[in-house]
Amino acid sequence: MSICFQPIENCSKTQPFAECIGIDLATKFDEYTISVLKNGLLKHGLLLFRNQKNLTPEKEVVFNRAFGWHDPTQEEFLFGFGAPTLEHKVSGGAQIPEFPQVSVLGNAFLDNYHGIRNTRLKPVLGFTFSAWHADGLHDMLDGMPELTTMYNPTGWQTSSGGATYFTSGVEAIQRMDSELYRELSCCTVAYMRAPNDTYPDETRRVTASPSFMTDEGTRRIGFGADPDNPNAGITNFKLKMEHADNGGRHPAIRAHPQTGQASLYITPGKAVYLLDTKTGVVRHGIDDTARLLSQALKPSAEPGVRYEHQWSEGDFVAWLNTLVLHSASDPDHIEGQRLMHRVRLSTPKRHHSS
C-alpha cells in the first residue's frame, strides 16, 4: 500500500492537518519514504498516524532524526531539548534512560517502564495554565525544536480527557485582520527569561507561577496561585519589562525557511513585550502585547476551529512547531490512565555560545 494523506476525522476543514495512512513507522523506511513524509509535514504542518502498535522509543528517535532538522551534536536531552535543571527534568514527566530523547508524560505510576522505576507521572499545566505555545519558543534563545512527536503506546488508554489542541499558525494569519498582520510582521516578541540550554543559570528564571490564561488560552490575565488547582486564583506577581532581560527574542510571524510560508509563531502566556524587529525599539508594552497576541490567535483557538486530538492507543502525531501551535487541555479532565511519549530534538544553533 502506498503512503497517502487524507483529512483527519473531526478536524475542521480550515486546518491543513492530515492523517497519513499506508505506513508502519516501526519498519525501516527508505529515502523516498522520508521525502514523502517530509513534504507531507511541510505541507500539512501536522501528520497523524494511527494504529502504530509496534513503535519503540528507538524508532521514535529514528523518526525524529530522519528529516535532518535536528542538531546532530546535541548531547543533553533533559526534558527533550536540554533544559538544564532538575526541576525541569522532573516537572511531571520522566525520561527513558536508554533513550533520554524520549520523555514520558501522563498520570500513571511506573513501577518499571523502559527502565523508569518507581515514578509517579504528574500532569502539569494544560489549557488554563500556559496554554498555546510552540515548543522551545518561550524558553530557548536558539535551537528551538522544529519537530515534536507524541505517541500513545499500546496498553495505555484514557477513558476521557487528555486531548491535545492544535491550530495552524499559517491559517491563523489568514484569519487575522490585515492591519494586525502588518503590525505583527514588524514585531519581535520579548519572552520572559527562563533557564535553557544556553544559559543554565537559575538567575535567569522568572519565578512566577505558570501563566493563568483566558480567552481560549490566548491571553494571560496573571499568574496562577497553584498550578495544581485552576480554581486557586492568581498570585500577586507583577510582571515587569525587565523580566524579559536575557530572555528569548523571536519574531511574532516567521517565514518558514523551506517553504516561505508565513506563520504566527507565538507563546502568548510567556510574552512580555513587542519590539521593532529592525530598530529594537519597544513598540508595545506588557498589556498591549497580551491584547494584540490574543487578538491574533483567538479566532484560530476557538472550539470548532482548533483541532482537538483525542488520543487512542497507537496514535503517533508529528508536527512542526514553526507551522503549528499547540496546547494541552486541562489535566483535571483526564479519566483513567494516561501515558504518552514525547520527542523534541533541538535544531542547530545559529550562534554558538562561548
Residues in touch with Fe ion (CB under 5 A)? 135
Nearer to Fe ion, 15 or 321 (CB): 321
**Residues 80 and 344: beta-carbon distance below 8 Å:** yes
CB of 92 to Fe ion, least distance (A): 12
Instruction: Collect all residues with Cβ–Cβ distance below 8 Å to 10 and sequence separation of at least 6.
Output: 307, 308, 310
- What is the Cα–Cα distance from 265 to 140, expressed in whole angstroms? 14
Among 343, 340, 330, 345, CA closest to 210: 330
**Residues 190 and 249: beta-carbon distance below 8 Å:** yes
CB of 103 to Fe ion, least distance (A): 11
- What is the Cα–Cα distance from 287 to 163, expressed in whole angstroms? 30
Nearer to Fe ion, 135 or 146 (CB): 135
Classify 88 as helix, strand or coil: helix
- What is the Cα–Cα distance from 86 to 71, expressed in whole angstroms? 22
Nearer to Fe ion, 135 or 171 (CB): 135
Residue nearest to Fe ion (CB): 135
**Residues 335 and 159: beta-carbon distance below 8 Å:** yes
Helices 286-301 and 178-185, interaxial angle, to 10°? 130
Instruction: Collect all residues with Cβ–Cβ distance below 8 Å to 281 and sequence separation of at least 6.
Output: 275
Q: Which residue has the cell 525520561?
A: 95
Nearer to Fe ion, 135 or 183 (CB): 135
CB of 138 to Fe ion, least distance (A): 10
Instruction: Collect all residues with Cβ–Cβ distance below 8 Å to 175 and sequence separation of at least 6.
Output: 299, 300, 305
Nearer to Fe ion, 45 or 275 (CB): 45
CB of 124 to Fe ion, least distance (A): 11
Nearer to Fe ion, 52 or 103 (CB): 103
Residue 174 CB: number of other CB atoms within 10 A? 12
Nearer to Fe ion, 140 or 275 (CB): 140
CB of 125 to Fe ion, least distance (A): 9
Pairing state between β 18-21 and 46-49: parallel
**Residues 127 and 302: beta-carbon distance below 8 Å:** no
Nearer to Fe ion, 81 or 199 (CB): 81
CB of 220 to Fe ion, least distance (A): 17
CB of 133 to Fe ion, least distance (A): 6
Classify 307 as helix, strand or coil: strand
CB of 130 to Fe ion, least distance (A): 9
- DSSP alpha helices (H): ranges in 23-91? 31-44, 57-65, 86-90
Q: Which residue has the cell 490564561?
A: 213
Nearer to Fe ion, 66 or 328 (CB): 328
CB of 84 to Fe ion, least distance (A): 18
